[in-house]
A and B are shown apart, each in its own frame.
Chain A
């Protein structure tokens, strides 16, 4: 409850400031008018259209980048020589920020859904790759022995032993990647792509609507927060403490 005091006091103070000195202008808006703009945007469907674009790109990119990351992560997690062979290449590619690929995606795909999808996929690829590799490494050696004892083939070994054992940490990777994906989607929209929540904020700024700008920011916060909270809830529900084991390593 104490946590609520500070934001409430700050908002009330801002509102009083706005009413006494009239700070409302082309640049600033009072908390009440921000809330009004956020409410209107929710009613007239602006939020829904923008959010569905941003979220569908995030999920699509997560699916593509996540699958690729999972496959490569399984490969380098299970086959040590490949891991060692790829070290330099991966270490060189990893520091390239996703946003630096915006112009390349722009050049190839033009503005639109696909270019955003590619960049989000690239962003989701790394956390999943790294978590998959770590999850495979973290499997108890005894399970490896069991799989050898049972003379399981490579496919059965992955399907029956590795994936179930690594699943909790894979889900942690998925959750992290989803957060990264949403952030990147909004960033791409703010930087270039004229769709979605990020663009809605930029558009409000460019049309001198600070109330709508802060209102849309509020929506980004709420949507992003619920998205994370939902994944965290799912993680706790599905895996409980199992997901916490070595999750920070």
Chain B
């Protein structure tokens, strides 16, 4: 073991890495200040930051942020529940798996946003439409992970279930679902990323108030500082939600020996 893997070494590298990121931002500021790229296209980080502060002070940006995060979470929770429920229905029977599996595998690689026109057709330009878009686009990882988790139960566990004379429901609840939990959690992380993407796409398409729509409007009115502020905020939503999921994963999967 070299010293880089020790705790202080790690912290030093983290600091160095942070410094490098700061240097990148400083470089961005420098490029903007020297006007190497037109300020219409690339405002400095100071102007983007100012735009964000002004937006938050007026309460407008905070409201939009909240709306976007709300949509993302509603869509994610809805599709997680639907995905696990549907996955349980299909996954708990080998027969159902063989009938529905191929269809699901065919639909899965379709671009999720391709659901948008269908959603608009059926529900118009509304919140319901965005929710349908998010739910149908996001359900796949959870659905397939649940089915996979059910299919990959160790035979010995099934035997234990037989020996204990567990009913079908009990087998699902006590053996199959816990067995699928690591897969499901991993898929929910992917699902959250997709949910954020589809929230943004949905807001842009349906013109609903939120960060996704506001950055598109900012671009159309050549309001670069607000545009960059919005994009950075979206990045932060992604970053923070991923970190939260990381923490949740570690807490929930403590019982697993590997990892």
Chain A residues within 8 Å of B, Cβ to Cβ: 2-7, 27-28, 84-89, 91-93, 95-104, 106-108, 179, 182-183, 186-187, 190-192, 198, 201-202, 204-205, 210, 213-214, 217, 220-221, 224-225, 228
CB <8 Å contact, B20 and A97: no
Which residues of A are found within 8 Å of B116, using beta-carbon distances?
190, 202
A103 touches B218 (CB 8 A): yes
In the complex the two chains form, is A202's CB within 8 Å of B204's CB? no
Which residues from A are CB-within-8-Å of B59?
Answer: none
Residues of B within 8 A of A7 (CB): 103, 106
- Check if A86 sits within 8 Å of B204, measured CB to CB: no
Q: Is the CB of A104 within 8 A of B231?
A: yes
A27 to B106, alpha carbons, bound, how many Å? 24
Which residue in chain A gives the minimum CB-CB distance to B16? A85
Question: Contact between A6 and B121 (Cβ–Cβ < 8 Å)?
Answer: no
Asked if residues B219 and A96 are in contact (CB atoms below 8 Å), the reply is no
Pull 29 A–B residue pairs with CB atoms less than 8 Å apart, ordered by A: A3-B103, A6-B100, A84-B17, A86-B20, A87-B13, A89-B20, A89-B21, A92-B235, A93-B235, A95-B239, A97-B234, A99-B200, A100-B215, A102-B204, A102-B216, A103-B216, A103-B219, A106-B220, A107-B219, A107-B222, A107-B224, A107-B227, A108-B41, A179-B109, A183-B112, A183-B113, A186-B113, A187-B111, A225-B109
Q: Chain B interface (Cβ within 8 Å of chain A)?
A: 4, 13-14, 16-18, 20-21, 24, 40-41, 98-103, 106-107, 109-114, 116-118, 120-122, 193, 196-197, 200-201, 204-205, 212, 215-216, 218-220, 222, 224, 227-228, 230-232, 234-235, 237-239, 242
A27 to B228, CA, bound (A): 37
Asked whether, in the complex, the Cβ of A27 is within 8 Å of the Cβ of B122, the reply is yes
Kindly state the separation between the CA atoms of A97 and B242 in the bound complex, as whole angstroms. 13
Which of A93, A95, A179, A204 sits near B117, CB closer than 8 Å? A204
CB atoms of B16 and A84 under 8 A apart: yes
B106 contact set on A, CB distance < 8 A: 7, 221, 225
Contact B200 A97 (CB under 8 A): yes
Is there contact, CB below 8 Å, between A191 and B117?
no
Are A201 and B114 closer than 8 Å at their CB atoms?
A: yes
Residues of B within 8 A of A98 (CB): 197
Closest 5 CB pairs of A and B: A3-B102, A95-B238, A103-B219, A96-B235, A205-B117
Of A88, A106, A179, A221, most B-chain CB atoms within 10 Å: A88
A205 touches B113 (CB 8 A): no
CB distance from A140 to the nearest CB of B (A): 20
Give the distance in Å from the alpha carbon of A86 to the alpha carbon of B17 in the complex.
6
Report chain B residues within 8 Å CB of A97.
Answer: 193, 196-197, 200, 234, 238
B residues in contact with A3, CB < 8 Å = 98-99, 101-103
* Also in contact, A85 and B197, with CB within 8 A (given A2-B99, A183-B111, A213-B121): no
B99–A92 CB distance below 8 A: no
In the bound complex, do residue A104 and residue B21 qualify as a contact, i.e. CB atoms below 8 Å apart?
Answer: no
A147 to B215, CA, bound (A): 50
Chain B: CB-nearest residue to A5: B99
- Interface contact A210-B110, CB-CB below 8 Å: no
**B207 shortest CB reach to chain A, Å:** 12
